[in-house]
Structure 1
């Protein structure tokens, strides 16, 4: 009914929070062995899942190695891999709709800083959208909590004129790397979001390969094919455009 009445919307379906620790699509896992709307709605369906490491809290101090191994090497890895496995079986996308129990503090070795940054880096590797809970981006007096803002204001591809291959953002240096396979049938540019005032106050240096050009419009970097490229013109199957952004 949802797909029929509003075909442009994405339908999110969500298992119990611990299901991705178990894994699989059966009753011990997500419980979904098919998409709620069926295979025909795969491009409008997304597995909604959560990640929390229950042995950490925002008030924790230094992050001990055993906790980090338990949370990041074991639990986070298992959640991400099981989400990928579940959607490989059913089709559709996946979205980390909730994570938290961490808050960046500005201290590099603090539990909240390491845990949040690890989740953000790993979701970049998995090309996953995410939603964060638990922290405040502003303080009681209304001023920005910059330790939190800097961690979550990240460069990322908003729209890709083709197929994303990989992307990564270095929180310390501000370097952003993005690679994608262009689709010549797409007229619209590839759009990369750049948090200019937070990470690039003095501007950016941009390098794009393949003869592609770029221009900056506010917080958006637009990447387009070489002038004169015909719509629908064949591109080599292994063509990959890379975009590198660094601070000035």
Structure 2
């Protein structure tokens, strides 16, 4: 689905970049850049780490163009160099990009559309030039346009018998998921009927062959919000245990094998079934690969009700977020994986966004907000999404949403995070980490250009500010082996 709390239906202009304060040194280039090292993220324990072994937190945006040709155009409405620079300047150091299966092999299994990959390469190069980590996403919602969705190629969307004897049922998103025909389509995919799953895995192999060495890669999100098929009614009770064991995980292992033919080290992200957005009951077992991530989504049901005009309030989402973040950590530990909240938001309710992001800080959760731009999303339960009133005009950014999502935070830590907090109301930031003396590169902290109109007051215990880097980052070095605490007001 892309957002949107929609699964619950089934069960100002931007502030200008401001000075940090007179105590900082002159800007320098990317910290410690070594041309011999390709910047890519990998998994180390529960953490994402960069090429220097620094712990990385990702605050990103979803970039999924859901209409044919399934890639944003080179236009103000789509994605240009101005967009990439805007993301980096506002601290968004990640992007989940919709490199859809429908675009990779549109005509036949194994027949790769290199022009489609070239079109995405334009966007990828813009993001990499700004140092933005990228997760490749085979995004799908309700399988195919036949059912009111998108994501898979036409050859993989042949209608099953006997449903093909009458016109397809196409309900408002996301209701089509519960129809018998679409449930059968997903069951057939998990069973690899007619080799469709083989074709999906081969398409992932083609993506890895193209981008396995791509700078700023953070790996492969295998399928967006998979549906359990006819077993879906049992999922809120049983957690779809048999689906995870017998369908999801074997399919993911098949795609991983295809990826590993050309990319031995990129993170492969296993995503939980759609209803886990509301009921955190994912059931993956241990992964047979040490570079695996758990991709999960958080759409609080109170947020969905709010979006539908039902005034229940969203304060209950605090408990929801605590549960989902902790369950994600537990699931990742069982798998032997890192984890990423690859979707949340899809709303202009800044109270809910503040709850989501504060919970992420509490658990050191990396995240991708849904979504950067609305892009006429055909599969959403809440039209109030995107950062801008007008996708073609960056000056129409929603100011309160911007103030909530643009956060002071550690993008790369030369050590292990201990405690993190940020208050979007007043910009109060506090971060403690245990330094790793063997890492030469500094800790990089993004300092929000939104929250300190008179300049940021920065204090460091156990270390010092040694400079600053482009895109509003300060560089911190530990004085010794004792914990370092950075406070910014």
Could you say what secondary structure the match of 1:179 adopts? Answer: strand
Could you say what secondary structure the match of 2:303 adopts? Answer: coil
Q: Does the aligned pair in 2 maintain the 1:12–1:47 contact within 8 Å?
A: yes
TM alignment of 1:22-61, pairs within 5 A = 22-23=279-280, 29-35=281-287, 37-38=288-289, 41=290, 44-57=291-304, 59=307
1:5 and 2:262 are equivalent in the alignment: yes
Question: Which runs of 5 or more residues in structure 1 are unaligned?
Answer: 24-28, 104-111, 230-234
1:98 and 2:343 are equivalent in the alignment: yes
Match of 1:153 among 401, 406, 417: 406
Cα drift, residue 178 of structure 1:
0.7
Question: Which runs of 5 or more residues in structure 2 are unaligned?
Answer: 1-256, 372-384
Distance change (3 Å), C-alpha of 1:62 and 1:154 = farther
Cα drift, residue 8 of structure 1:
4.1
Give, in whole Å, the separation in 2 of the partners of 1:22 and 1:86. 13
Distance change (3 Å), C-alpha of 1:201 and 1:148 = same
Q: Does the aligned pair in 1 maintain the 2:346–2:386 contact within 8 Å?
A: no
Aligned residues: 214
Cα drift, residue 59 of structure 1:
4.1
Give, in whole Å, the separation in 1 of the partners of 2:265 and 2:454. 39
1:242 corresponds in structure 2 to 485
Give, in whole Å, the separation in 1 of the partners of 2:283 and 2:310. 37
More helix by share: 2
Distance change (3 Å), C-alpha of 1:209 and 1:93 = same
Give, in whole Å, the separation in 2 of the partners of 1:211 and 1:191. 13
Q: Which protein shows a greater Rg? A: 2
Cα drift, residue 208 of structure 1:
0.7
1:106 corresponds in structure 2 to none
Distance change (3 Å), C-alpha of 1:20 and 1:89 = farther
Q: Does the aligned pair in 1 maintain the 2:478–2:484 contact within 8 Å?
A: no
More strand by share: 1
Match of 2:318 among 56, 59, 72: 72
TM alignment of 1:1-248, pairs within 5 A = 1=257, 2-3=259-260, 5-19=262-276, 22-23=279-280, 29-35=281-287, 37-38=288-289, 41=290, 44-57=291-304, 59=307, 64=312, 68-69=315-316, 71-73=317-319, 75-103=320-348, 112-133=349-370, 135-140=385-390, 142=393, 143-196=396-449, 198-218=450-470, 219-226=472-479, 235=481, 239-246=482-489
TM-score by length of 1: 0.77
Could you say what secondary structure the match of 1:212 adopts? Answer: strand
Give, in whole Å, the separation in 2 of the partners of 1:63 and 1:163. 41
Cα drift, residue 3 of structure 1:
4.1
Give, in whole Å, the separation in 1 of the partners of 2:363 and 2:276. 19
2:252 corresponds in structure 1 to none
Give, in whole Å, the separation in 2 of the partners of 1:126 and 1:216. 27
Cα drift, residue 149 of structure 1:
1.0
Give, in whole Å, the separation in 2 of the partners of 1:175 and 1:214. 21
Distance change (3 Å), C-alpha of 1:201 and 1:216 = farther
Q: Deviations over 1:58-99 (max 9, x none)?
A: 64679646x532x332x3222122111112222211100111
Could you say what secondary structure the match of 1:34 adopts? Answer: coil
**149-158 or 56-65, which moves further after superposition?**
56-65
Give, in whole Å, the separation in 2 of the partners of 1:163 and 1:4. 33
Cα drift, residue 6 of structure 1:
1.7
Give, in whole Å, the separation in 1 of the partners of 2:415 and 2:438. 9
Give, in whole Å, the separation in 1 of the partners of 2:483 and 2:462. 8
